[in-house]
Structure 1
Amino acid sequence: MKHTSLATAITLALTATSAFAEPAQSDEKSIEKIVVVSSRVAMPLREVATSVSLVTQADIEARGYANLAEVLKTQPAISMTSSGGAGSSTSLRVRGEEGYRTLVRIDGVDISDPTGTQVEPKLGHMQASNISRVEILRGSQGLAYGADAGGVINVHSAEYTEQLAGRVSAEAGRYDSTNLVGDIGGRTDKFSYYIAGSSFQTDGFDARTDDASGDLDGYENNTIHTRLGYQVSEQLSLKLVARNTQGEGEFDHCGFGATASDDCQSEFAQTNLRTSVNYVTGSSEHEFSYAKTLIERENFNQNVSSYLAKGATEKVEYLAHSELNDTHTLVYGADWEKEAITSAQQYRHNRGAFVEYQSELVSNLFVTAGLRYDDNDDFGEHTTYRVSSAYIWAIDSNELKLRGAYGTGFRAPSLFEVNYNRRPEALPSAANTPLKEEQTQGYEIGIEFLTETDSRFEVVYFDQEIEDSITYTFDSVTYADGYIQDIGQSESKGVELIAEIKLGKGWSVDANYTYNEAEDTAGNQRRRRPRNIANLGANYQLDKLTFTANIRVIKDAVDAGVPLENYEILDISAKYQVNPQLSVYARVENLFDAHYQDISDYNTSGESPYLGLRYQF
Structure 2
Amino acid sequence: MPMKLRLSVCVCALSLCAPLAAQEQGEDESEAKPEIVVTGRGLDPALSTGIYATTTLERETIVASPSGRIEDVLRGVAGFQQFRRSDSRSSNPSAQGVTLRALGGNATSRALVLLDGVPIADPFFGYIPLSAIAPETLGQIRVTRGGGSGPFGAGALAGTIELDSADPSATGTFLGSAAINNREETEASGVLSQRLGSGFAVASGRWDRGQGFFTTPDSQRVPASARAGFDSWNAALRGVAPLTGQIELQARVAAFRDNRTLRFEGADSFSEGQEASLRIVGRGDWQFDALAYVQARDFGNVVISSTRFTPVLDQRRTPSTGVGGKFELRPPVAEGHDLRIGIDYRRADGELQEEAISAFSGNITERRRAGGATANLGIFIEDDWQIGPLIINGGLRADRTSITDGFYRAVNPAGMLVSEIIAPDRDDWALNWRAGALFYATRRLDLRAAAYTGLRLPTLNELYRPFVVFPVTTQANAALENERLQGFEVGLDWQPVNEVVFSVTAFDNEVKDAIANVTIAPNLRQRQNLPAIEARGIEASVAAKFGSVSLDGSLAWTDAEVRGQGSSLALDGNRPSQTPEFSATLTLGWRPAAGWQLATTLRHVSAQFEDDLESDVLPAATTLDAFIAAPLAGKLSVVLRGENLTGEDIVTRNQGGSIDLGVPRTIWLGLRYGF
Distance 1:518 1:56 in 2: 31
Distance in 2 separating the partners of 1:166 and 1:84? 28
8 Å contact kept, 2:390–2:437? yes
* Higher radius of gyration, 1 or 2: 2
Q: Give the TM-score, by structure 2 length.
A: 0.78
Structure 1 residue 538 corresponds to structure 2 residue 618: no
Distance in 1 (alpha carbons) for counterparts of 2:175 and 2:131: 25
Alignment of 1:78-89 (within 5 A): 78-80=80-82, 81-82=84-85, 86=89, 88=91, 89=95
CA displacement, residues 163-207 of structure 1 (integer Å, 9 cap, x when unaligned):
971111111113221110101113244321111111111211122
| 2:662 matches 1:604 | yes
Question: How far is 1:11 from its partner?
Answer: 5.5
Alpha-carbon contact 2:90-2:262 (below 8 Å) kept = no
Q: Secondary structure at the match of 1:587?
A: strand
Asked if 2 retains the 8 angstrom alpha-carbon contact of 1:87 and 1:125, the reply is no
Name the SS of the counterpart of 2:319 in structure 1.
Answer: strand
Kept after mapping to 2: 8 A contact 1:557/1:563: yes
Equivalence for 1:149:
156
Given the alignment, which residue of 167, 170, 177 partners 1:159? 167
The change in CA–CA distance for 1:508 and 1:420 in structure 2 (over 3 A counts) is closer
For residue 652 of structure 2, give the secondary structure of its aligned residue in structure 1: coil
Task: Report deviation, 1:563.
Answer: 3.3
Which residue number in structure 1 is paired with residue 603 of structure 2?
552
Percentage of matched positions with identical amino acids? 20
Contact 1:91 1:123 (C-alpha < 8 Å) held by counterparts: no
Q: Corresponding residue for 1:497? A: 540
In structure 2, C-alpha distance between the alignment counterparts of 1:163 and 1:602, rounded to whole Å = 38
* Distance change (3 Å), C-alpha of 1:443 and 1:598: farther
Q: 1:309 to 1:428 in 2, by over 3 A?
A: closer
Match of 1:566 among 620, 642, 648: 620
- Equivalent residue of 1:63, what SS? coil
Change (3 A) 1:312 1:184: same
212-221 or 310-319, which deviates more: 212-221
Cα distance in 2, alignment partners of residues 575 and 428 from structure 1: 46
Q: Is residue 2:382 matched to residue 1:382? A: no
Alignment of 1:309-328 (within 5 A): 309-328=318-337
SS of the equivalent of 2:213 reads coil
Q: CA deviation at 1:418?
A: 2.8
1:585 CA displacement: 1.1
Residue aligning to 1:352: 378
> Is the aligned partner of 1:212 residue 2:222?
yes
Which residue in 2 is equivalent to 1:615? 673
- 1:44–1:441 Cα change, 3 Å: closer
Equivalent residue number for residue 115 of structure 2: 106
Structure 1 residues 500-511: aligned runs within 5 Å? 500-504=543-547, 506-511=548-553
Alignment of 1:133 onto 2:140: yes
SS where residue 135 of structure 1 aligns? strand
Aligned AA for 1:380? D
Contact 2:90 2:212 in 1 (8 A): no
SS of equivalent to 1:287: strand
Contact 1:379 1:437 in 2 (8 A): no
- Structure 2 unaligned runs (5+)? 5-38, 304-309, 353-369, 403-425, 467-472, 564-571
Change in CA separation of 1:130 and 1:323 when aligned onto 2, cut-off 3 Å = same
User: Once superposed, what is the RMSD of the aligned Cα atoms?
Assistant: 2.9
Partner of 2:528: 484
For 1:603, give the aligned amino acid: L
Cα shift at 1:570: 0.6
Is the 2:189–2:206 Cα contact (8 Å) retained in structure 1? yes
**In the alignment, residue 328 of structure 1 is paired with which amino acid?**
H
> What TM-score does the superposition give when structure 1 sets the normalisation length?
0.85
Q: Paired residue for 2:449?
A: 404
SS in 1 for 2:625: strand
Where 1:112 maps in the other structure, the secondary structure is coil
Structure 1 pair 122–208 and aligned structure 2 pair: CA distance change class (3 A) = farther
Write the letter of the residue equivalent to 1:365.
Answer: L
Conservation of the 8 A alpha-carbon contact between 1:183 and 1:195: yes
| Cα gap change, 1:569 to 1:532, in 2 (>3 Å) | same
Summarize deviations over 1:505-530 as a string: whole Å, max 9, x none: x1111111211111111111112211
What amino acid is aligned across from residue 513 of structure 2 in structure 1?
A: D
- Does 1:202 find its partner at 2:250? no
Pick from 214, 221, 234 the counterpart of residue 232 of structure 2: 221
The match for 1:256 is: none
Residue 296 (structure 2) aligned to one of 294, 297, 301 = 294
